[in-house]
Amino acid sequence: MAGEQKRQNFLKNHLSFKSFWPQKNNSSFKQNAQNQYSVQKKQKPVIKNNSPITLLCIATGIGLYFNLPGEGNSKVCALLLVILLCCVALTRNYRYLNNLILGALIISIGYSLALYRTHTSSTHLLSQTLKSFDVVMMVEENEPLQKNRIRYTGKLLSLSKRTQNKIPKRIRIRTSDQGPRFKYGDLLCMRAMLARPKGPIRAGGYDFGFALWFKEVGATGFNISPIRLCPYNQERIDHQSQLSQIIANIRNFIGNKIDNGLNEPERAMARALILGDRGRVKKEDLEAMRKAGLGHLLAISGLHMAVFGGTLFILIRALLALFPIFSQNHPIKKYAPFGALIGSFAYFLISGQSIPTQRAVLMISVLFTAIMIERTALTLRNVAVAALIILVLKPESLVSAGFQMSFAAVTALIVTYQMFREYEPLNNLKSSTANRWLKPFYYLGGIWVTSIIATVATAPFAIYHFHNVSYMGPVGNMLAIPVFSLLLMPSALISLILMPLGLEVIALVPLKYSIQILLSTAHWTSSFDPAVITIGAINLSSVLLIMAGLVLVFYTNRPVNLIGAALIIIAPISALKNEKPDLYIGASAEVIALRGEDKKLYAPTGRKGTFVLTNWLKADGDTRSLNNVRNSQNFLCDDTACTGKTSGKRVTLIKSIAALEKACETADILIYKFSITRKCKNPKLILSKRELTNSGTLSLYIKDGKIKIISANQFRKNRIWSDYR
């Protein structure tokens, strides 16, 4: 039955466009369509377009640029492009050689895109810390943080004193008090401490400076005086984007409506789901959502856009169907997706415009456009096209967790459900009249299968970026997604529609209860111990092997897909070879951590470096509390110094000059935070605060008495976003 239905649909789709073909001999046209269907049915269902391979080559070029030890030469890059282009033209009669050169050309184009984007997003970075300067900035973004604090990002208009630095284009200020919240376009005056954006906390870790470079942020810091509004000066803000101002005003309007209509914690969750504003969500709620595998619901992405756009599509079509004369004379099935497309794009603008949301709005645009022109929407080609658009506009997105996990999940889902659609017994079971009452169970089963597929597909990237993975995700999603899809997001949509009329309270009531159900589900699911498996850091090569293997498996035929399967098998072996450091030394010499005899990290007692130490533990796959890690039994500490031992080497952190003489005689590795003139002969390694500031966090590997040092800034010293050159 299902096979016959597919044949009829195929013929219908082809014959519906017969007006574009010669009208003579229509029977012959129909016979050709039937023959074409028979040929397609016999062929193996594989991807027959070059979009995925093009995407892989572009991504390879971008990845090569961002992993270079130094900046590339634009002239050499341009020359290489010309040479490869000529070679492609000369070898067009030699298929395999031409394909290889064409692949190299596309890789070079990806490299060039990353090079161009990096240098056009330039800003000046501070070369020294400015401890107390008067700052005037124009707010472009305000992000709520924990404890009612706010982080402002905006254009730096002036500094009070002359410095050796050129003024950065933008700065980011974290408020140190619970002051008022200023909106987009406000001119703020304050006294602040500014410094260059920080690099990675450990070698191979997340590079804060890299991410801020592409936002043209050249300094970060915090205010040391109350923030106040500066006198309004129209000349200073004429250059601001009017569209950004309008969007910011709309976001403020929606935020105020939510604040007035809901209480905590529903208020914070509503802001996160509608505006992408997660800063106000309580820490315990965030942790529960993450452990329950529901953290993706707090990042506006494909699921949000699909439910939002789908609900809007249904509402518009139902509304048009209320007018029989109009609906009978107009194709309302094409009008509804057009209206839903406009509404989805408006939701994208007010939701923060993150990378997952960009991918989602591109996919939803393709889907609604396909409905309007009567074409299939959810295909791997469309996913590849959406990814290509994002990489061309923002090549730096390739290395972000949002891009990688978002596209990995949607690709895996499309491939899997395409296989399900081609499985005849399953299609016959679903279409059987006797089993129609099982449709609700099909829906729940689909949620469960979808959650498992998405969890497996995103697991390598989750481990690489966050060092853990939630195995309770399928359970949490099976319980929460029906509430999210059928009640929460439709209520959010209706509340947005009613807000201009002042009637949003009608929809905020069901929104409140749906959020309560969602949070209750998250807390219950996360109560199982352990809900999250902490694995620790894995090397980048393992993730790249998995990515390349998946592309070759799903996008190619034998024997190439066998090579992809081999790469996927090799990847975990590569991950297991990830060696752990014996000693971490923080960039400011404020915190160190050494590996004890039980192969676990330990740090001296104290409160400094909590954020840094927590990240080291996550990378190590260690779930202990900081109180257990800061164990004085592994360190001998007093007011002047702390001493510990790892792999046969004695490590001493000096706090006072009084401990220098003894440390010079006993320490193998000496660390100090002040200037000294005395030379120490006994230590094999001496590190000062100045050296650590330039090198960043150091990871030390000790084997057979030899010390190997890897710096966090080792691979970014000569890159433009670090400005160490």
Q: What is the DSSP string of 257-317?
A: HHHHH--TTHHHHHHHHHH---TTS-HHHHHHHHHTT-GGGGS--HHHHHHHHHHHHHHHH
Identify residue 587 by its one-letter amino acid code.
A
Q: What tokens does 589 get?
A: 């010499």
Overall average pLDDT of the 181-209 stretch: 82
Percent of the chain with pLDDT over 70: 81
> Beta strands 228-229 and 583-585: pairing type?
unpaired
Residue pLDDT, tens place only, 653-664: 887 777 777 878
Give the pLDDT band of residue 76 (cuts 50, 70, 90). Answer: confident
C-alpha 277/C-alpha 281 separation (Å) is 9
This prediction has a pTM of 0.76
Give the pLDDT band of residue 430 (cuts 50, 70, 90). Answer: low
| pLDDT beyond 80 at 287 | yes
**CA angle, 720 as apex, 714 and 725 as ends, to 5°?**
65
Q: What is the DSSP letter of 435?
A: G
Q: How many DSSP H helices and E strands does the chain contain?
A: 27, 18
> Residue 470 CB: number of other CB atoms within 10 A?
25
Identify residue 12 by its one-letter amino acid code.
K
Q: What tokens does 463 get?
A: 């481990």
| pLDDT beyond 50 at 290 | yes
C-alpha 369/C-alpha 374 separation (Å) is 8
Give the pLDDT band of residue 59 (cuts 50, 70, 90). Answer: confident
For residue 670, the model assigns a pLDDT of: 84
For residue 721, the model assigns a pLDDT of: 81
Query: Could you tell me which residue, 529 or 227, shows the higher pLDDT?
Result: 227
Overall average pLDDT of the 333-353 stretch: 84
For residue 16, the model assigns a pLDDT of: 41
What are the distances in angstroms from CA 565 to CA 164, 303, 419, 420? 55, 29, 18, 21
C-alpha 275/C-alpha 350 separation (Å) is 6
Range in 60-74, 203-217, 408-422 with the lowest mean pLDDT: 408-422
| pLDDT beyond 60 at 684 | yes
Pair 257, 274: CB distance under 8 Å = no
| pLDDT beyond 80 at 179 | no
Fold entry, domain 130-231:
OB fold (Dihydrolipoamide Acetyltransferase, E2P) (2.40.50)
Q: Quick one: angle between helices 489-498 and 505-526, nearest 10?
A: 150
| pLDDT beyond 70 at 377 | no
For residue 155, the model assigns a pLDDT of: 85
Residue pLDDT, tens place only, 384-395: 777 888 888 888
Range in 20-34, 151-165, 544-558 with the lowest mean pLDDT: 20-34
| pLDDT beyond 70 at 232 | no
Overall average pLDDT of the 495-521 stretch: 88
| pLDDT beyond 50 at 452 | yes
For residue 7, the model assigns a pLDDT of: 52
Overall average pLDDT of the 107-127 stretch: 84
> Beta strands 187-195 and 228-229: pairing type?
antiparallel
Overall average pLDDT of the 420-446 stretch: 63
C-alpha 260/C-alpha 262 separation (Å) is 6
| pLDDT beyond 50 at 15 | no
| pLDDT beyond 60 at 614 | yes
Give the pLDDT band of residue 35 (cuts 50, 70, 90). Answer: low
Q: What tokens does 393 get?
A: 């506009």
CB proximity list for 568: less than 8 A, separation 6 or greater: 545, 546, 549, 550, 553
C-alpha 506/C-alpha 495 separation (Å) is 7
Cβ-defined contacts of 570-576 (< 8 Å, 24+): 570/545, 571/460, 571/542, 571/543, 571/545, 571/546, 572/542, 574/539, 574/541, 574/542, 574/545, 575/538, 575/539, 575/542
Identify residue 471 by its one-letter amino acid code.
Y
Residue recorded with tokens 């034998």: 558
Phi, psi at 701, each rounded to 5°: -115, 120
For residue 47, the model assigns a pLDDT of: 40
C-alpha 714/C-alpha 388 separation (Å) is 31
Pair 271, 277: CB distance under 8 Å = yes
Look over the chain and give the mean of its residue pLDDT values, rounded to a whole number: 77
For residue 455, the model assigns a pLDDT of: 76
For residue 14, the model assigns a pLDDT of: 43
- Which H helix or E strand runs over 110? helix 95-120
Q: What tokens does 707 get?
A: 């010390």
3-state secondary structure of 461: helix
For residue 314, the model assigns a pLDDT of: 86
Exposure b/e, 346-363, CB count within 10 A at least 16 = b = ebbbbbbebbbbbbbbbb
Query: Could you tell me which residue, 244 or 47, shows the higher pLDDT?
Result: 244
For residue 693, the model assigns a pLDDT of: 74
Pair 615, 528: CB distance under 8 Å = no
Strand partners, 654: 641, 672
Q: What is the DSSP letter of 623?
A: -
Pair 633, 642: CB distance under 8 Å = no
- Which H helix or E strand runs over 171? strand 170-174
Give the pLDDT band of residue 532 (cuts 50, 70, 90). Answer: confident
Give the pLDDT band of residue 596 (cuts 50, 70, 90). Answer: confident
- What does 7-71 look like in DSSP terms, one character per residue? HHHHHHHHHTTGGGS--S-HHHHHHHHHHHHHHHHHS-----SSHHHHHHHHHHHHHHHHT-SBP
Query: Could you tell me which residue, 61 or 451, shows the higher pLDDT?
Result: 61
Percent of the chain with pLDDT over 90: 0
> Residue 579 CB: number of other CB atoms within 10 A?
10
Q: How distant is the alpha carbon of residue 292 from its chain centre? A: 19
> Residue 650 CB: number of other CB atoms within 10 A?
16
CB proximity list for 65: less than 8 A, separation 6 or greater: 72, 110, 111, 114, 115, 118, 395
- Which H helix or E strand runs over 491? helix 489-498
Torsion of CA 672, 678, 681, 686, to 10 degrees: 20
| pLDDT beyond 60 at 9 | no
38-42, 622-626, 692-696 — most confident range: 622-626
| pLDDT beyond 70 at 163 | no
Overall average pLDDT of the 57-66 stretch: 87
For residue 21, the model assigns a pLDDT of: 35
Q: Which of 522, 515, 448 is nearest to 291 (CA)?
A: 522
Give the pLDDT band of residue 238 (cuts 50, 70, 90). Answer: very low
Burial of residue 500 (CB within 10 Å: 0-12, 13-18, 19+) is: exposed
Q: Which of 56, 49, 50, 62 is nearest to 392 (CA)?
A: 62
Pair 463, 535: CB distance under 8 Å = yes
| pLDDT beyond 70 at 88 | yes
C-alpha 290/C-alpha 519 separation (Å) is 11
3-state secondary structure of 159: strand
Q: What is the DSSP letter of 718?
A: B
User: Given phi > 0 = left and psi -120 to 50 = alpha, else beta, which region is 122?
Assistant: beta
| pLDDT beyond 80 at 175 | yes
For residue 39, the model assigns a pLDDT of: 46
Overall average pLDDT of the 17-42 stretch: 44
For residue 724, the model assigns a pLDDT of: 46
Burial of residue 631 (CB within 10 Å: 0-12, 13-18, 19+) is: middle
